[in-house]
Amino acid sequence: MRFFDANAYVLPGDLAEQLERMRRVHAAYRIGGALISPLDAPGELIEPLLKALGEAPSSYCAAVPVGSLSALSVSERVKAVRVDPSAGREGLRLGAELAEREGLALLVSLRARWGGPSLSAPEVEPLLAEFGSTPIVISGANYGETVWLVTSASSLPHVHVEVSMYHQMDGLRLLAEKLGAGRLLFGTAYPLHPLPVAMFKLLFSGLDEEQLRAVAWGNAARVFRIEG
């Protein structure tokens, strides 16, 4: 089984070196591609990230933070527009409009770090419903969002869940049952989290083989239009 990491990060520093290191570590864990978001200084990091991605396999791509509009036109590696909590509701609308116009997925990060800033899922829900033709990926959800995921998000078929921060016991089985495994995406939050956490969580989730393959790679390939 191969994996696509739907939530990887680069941080301020040497982007080419970080990407090279990420690919080496990913390869050891059978991860063959990733959607990478620049974190902490996203506006400054996006251009060097896209440049560094030019040397990587086509399955490595970027989520462009809302506010870095110029980057959208410079690289086919851009597969999503990312909205972080700091963007607020105005940023969310801007990101959704941008994703819709460019035919990209919208990655909505409820939180990137435990204890850091967060977006309220119920508050963003009306906007998610409004952009029904755009594939939307909720990232950073945890057990606090469980009820919202199974009661509200489940009725929005274009909304998917990236599970790097979703840790509750038997949680992946619950989401697979209520939303469908076709709407779950494997993610690691590398390098913020240790990779074995995400690996153990998926491999011991109790999902069947077909569901595992969908969560590990297939769903992300469809949502982000990843080749290969």
Partner 1 sequence: MRPSPSEEERDAVDELLELLNRFRGRIIDAHAHVGPDQRFLMWATPEAVLKVYGRYGIRAGLFSSTISLLAGAREGNRHVLEAARAHPGRILPLYSLNPLEPGCLEELERDAGSYVGVKFHPDYFHVQPSHPLALEALKRVAELGFPLMLHSYDGCAEAEKVARALPELKVVAYHMGGVRWRECLKRLSALENTLVEVSSSVAEPGMVAAAVEELGADRVLFGSDVPYLEPAVSLGKIFDANLGERDLENVLWRNAERLIGDALLRR
Query: Where on the chain is the footprint of partner 1 (CB under 8 A)?
Result: 24-25, 27-30, 114-115, 142-144, 146-147, 150, 165, 167-171, 174, 191-201, 203-204, 206
Q: Closest separation between CB of residue 3 and partner 1, Å?
A: 9
Q: Closest separation between CB of residue 117 and partner 1, Å?
A: 13
Q: Closest separation between CB of residue 169 and partner 1, Å?
A: 4
C-beta closer to partner 1: residue 156 or 192: 192
Query: Count of CB atoms within 10 A of residue 18's CB?
Result: 21
C-beta closer to partner 1: residue 23 or 183: 23
The vertex-165 CA angle with 162 and 166, nearest 5°, equals 75
C-beta closer to partner 1: residue 29 or 158: 29
Q: Closest separation between CB of residue 201 and partner 1, Å?
A: 4
Q: Closest separation between CB of residue 194 and partner 1, Å?
A: 4
C-beta closer to partner 1: residue 106 or 179: 179
C-beta closer to partner 1: residue 131 or 186: 186
Q: Closest separation between CB of residue 185 and partner 1, Å?
A: 17
CA–CA separation, 34 and 31 (whole Å): 8
CA–CA separation, 223 and 165 (whole Å): 19
C-beta closer to partner 1: residue 170 or 210: 170
